Structure formats: structure tokens, C-alpha cells
Structure 1
């Protein structure tokens, strides 16, 4: 069985971000979840941490993939492109981190 991949994106929205950016992000994330094969879970939203260690990041996206091949297919997928473009157009900065979890044997 292949390891699942957790894809995490942390976003700091720009002061000039569109006022409806979160609503549009929600809609785009829903399309990703519903249309891309191998996407097992999508979660996103503002931090609810009590530690206050966000370092200015105010929004996160978490996508769990069945395996690395599903992640690789997601990146150029037509349903993912609008989500990525929304981040690039409205973020002051963002970071992406992928983590393999589970049994890779």
C-alpha cells in the first residue's frame, strides 16, 4: 500500500485581497473535493489555535490524497488551477508543504 499524501497550504491574505476571497476559496475547494480522483479529504479555514504561533498566516488548506500519484494528478488538474490562481492573486505570501503518512510498504 502506498503512503497517503497530506498537502498543506498556509496563506497570508494580502491587504488588497478581494473582499469575497474566502467565499470564492470555499467554492473552489468544494469543486476540488468533488471532481478530482484520489482526493480523500479537503479542509480549510482560519486558525483556531490558542497558541498564537501562526506567524501572520491567517488561512490554511489541507488536502489528503490517496497516494503521491493522486497528488501529482491534482496539481495540473483543471479543477485545481482556479484554486491555485486564487491564492496567487490574493496572497501576500503562502507556503506549501507535502507530507507522506501511513504505510508505504
Structure 2
């Protein structure tokens, strides 16, 4: 299994509704791409504020394997919602951090 973990630094003017809509689009990819096992999202509630570094939001996608993750990365629907996420983050692509873990 691959867990694709994404930390986000959304701009201050991005509403909770906008974030929710973006997350809903990502969650719907589960119906579109069969290798997605799970999707979760939420706000960073860490009390280690000095270590958050502006990453107040996160989501992760669990994939059955590397091939499923790679299909997701190439998928046009994922790329479209990803571009909208980047457009809402501080510094564009600099507002996104990705970590993939293999289990």
C-alpha cells in the first residue's frame, strides 16, 4: 500500500466551503480510479505550532500499490483538481508538500 500524504498552506482568503469542495472532488476520484483504497482530509490540530510551518490543512489517499498511485498522478481529473488546489495555496506549488509512504 502507498499512502500519498499532502500538506497544504492555503491562502487566508480561501473559505472552508472552497476547501470542502476541493476535498469532495478528490474523494470522488475513488469512484473513478479503482486503485484508491481510502481518502481522508482535515485540519492540522497539532499543538506544536512552531513546527506546522503554515501547513494548516492536509489530506491523504491510500492506494493499493504503486501502479494505482501512478495512475492517479497521470489522471486528468486528479490533475485538474490539483491545479485548483495549487491556485489556492500560498506561493502556488510552494504551498504544497507531498510525502508518499509505502507499507
Q: Same fold (TM over 0.5)?
A: yes
Q: What is the CA-CA distance between 1:50 and the residue it aligns to?
A: 3.5
Q: Out of 93, 96, 99, which is 1:97 matched to?
A: 99
Q: Out of 24, 27, 30, which is 1:27 matched to?
A: 24
Structure 1 match to 2:11: 14
In structure 2, distance between residues paired with 1:5 and 1:28: 20
In structure 1, distance between residues paired with 2:56 and 2:18: 13
RMSD (Å), alpha carbons: 1.7
Q: Out of 82, 95, 99, which is 1:84 matched to?
A: 82
Structure 1 match to 2:56: 58
In structure 1, distance between residues paired with 2:38 and 2:82: 17
- 8 Å contact from structure 1 (residues 38, 65) kept in 2: yes
Higher helix share: 2
Q: What is the CA-CA distance between 1:32 and the residue it aligns to?
A: 1.4
Q: Which one has the largest radius of gyration?
A: 1
- SS of corresponding position for 2:76: coil
Deviations 1:42-88 (A, max 9, x none): 00111133443322111101101000000000011123122211211
Q: Structure 2: which 5+ residue stretches go unaligned?
A: none
Runs of 4+ displaced beyond 4 Å: none
Higher strand share: 1
TM-score, normalised on structure 1?
0.81
TM-score, normalised on structure 2?
0.82
